[in-house]
Amino acid sequence: MLYQPDIAKLILRISLGVLILFHGIHKLIHGIDGVKALLLSSGLPPFLVYGVYVGELIAPIFIILGLYARVASGILAFNMFVAIYLAYGFSLSTSKFGGLSWETPLLFFIMSILVILLGSGKYAVNSK
């Protein structure tokens, strides 16, 4: 009775999609100048900043719906990997609360990898 892998996959997809979507909506409303500055300071071309919209607005919607969720999660995982690199440089510094300073994007990265490995489950637009 407690073994419900499709419900677990649905909860994982909705949690990941909704939580990252808030970040994307914030960037849509308030802009992406901070991300652009990180890209420029790393010597990367400024047009790459628009990948943030793909990774934090479009991909989460696909993940929530379960529509090509593995592909969308791959895009989000790449987005989080790059975000960790640009913002934290993979340093092992801790926050004022004792946790790893980049634990939130790391959790999004791990959740994305889990969706890639597990798939959408049966409660998805294109379930497999």
Q: Over the stretch 39-84, which tens digit does the pLDDT of each residue have?
A: 999 999 999 999 999 999 999 999 999 999 999 999 999 999 999 9
Amino acid, res. 106 = L
Question: Which 3 state secondary structure label does DSSP give 49?
Answer: helix
**Boundaries of domain holding 72:** 5-118
Work out how many domains the chain is built from and give that number: 1
Q: 124 in a domain, yes or no?
A: no
Q: 126 in a domain, yes or no?
A: no
Q: 127 in a domain, yes or no?
A: no
Q: 40 in a domain, yes or no?
A: yes
8 A C-beta contact, residue 25 and residue 57: yes
Q: 61 in a domain, yes or no?
A: yes
Q: 128 in a domain, yes or no?
A: no
* Joined tokens for residue 101: 């300073």
The per-residue DSSP string of 62-111 comes to HHHHTSSHHHHHHHHHHHHHHHHHHHHTT---B-TTSSBTTHHHHHHHHH
pTM above 0.85, yes or no: yes
75 or 128: which carries more pLDDT confidence? 75
CA dihedral 30, 34, 36, 40 (to 10 degrees): 170
Q: 36 in a domain, yes or no?
A: yes
Q: 58 in a domain, yes or no?
A: yes
